[in-house]
Amino acid sequence: MTYAECMSTMQIRNVPEETSRRLKARAAAAGQSLSEYLLAEVTKIADRPTMAEISARLEALPPLDLPPAADLIRQARSERLG
């Protein structure tokens, strides 16, 4: 399999002109082409978990057996005040 066969192409239509200008300016400031800049940004977005993924991960964790928060606050206050 060649490099080109491993990559896909994306196209975004109807990008507002002001948005396009800002992205081009950011790419230039980073010393990148617009394509390089957008690829890096899209990769960051894709690598970041969605709220649903975070929620599923949290739900999969075993439950914690913690004392009530009020007890912890009371204890911390008494330790602090002596």
Each domain of the chain, given as residue ranges in start order, spans 3-62
Instruction: Sort residue 9 into left (φ over 0), alpha (ψ -120 to 50) or beta.
Output: beta
Q: Does residue 3 carry a pLDDT above 70?
A: no
Half-sphere exposure (CA, 13 Å, Cβ side) for 48? 8
State the pLDDT confidence band at 1, using cuts at 50, 70 and 90: low
Which contacts (CB < 8 Å, 24+ apart) does range 75-79 have? none
Residue 4 pLDDT: 63
| pTM (two decimals) | 0.65
- pLDDT tens-digit profile of 10-62? 999 999 999 999 999 999 999 999 999 999 999 999 999 999 999 999 999 99
Burial environment of residue 65 by CB neighbours within 10 A (0 to 12, 13 to 18, 19 or more):
exposed
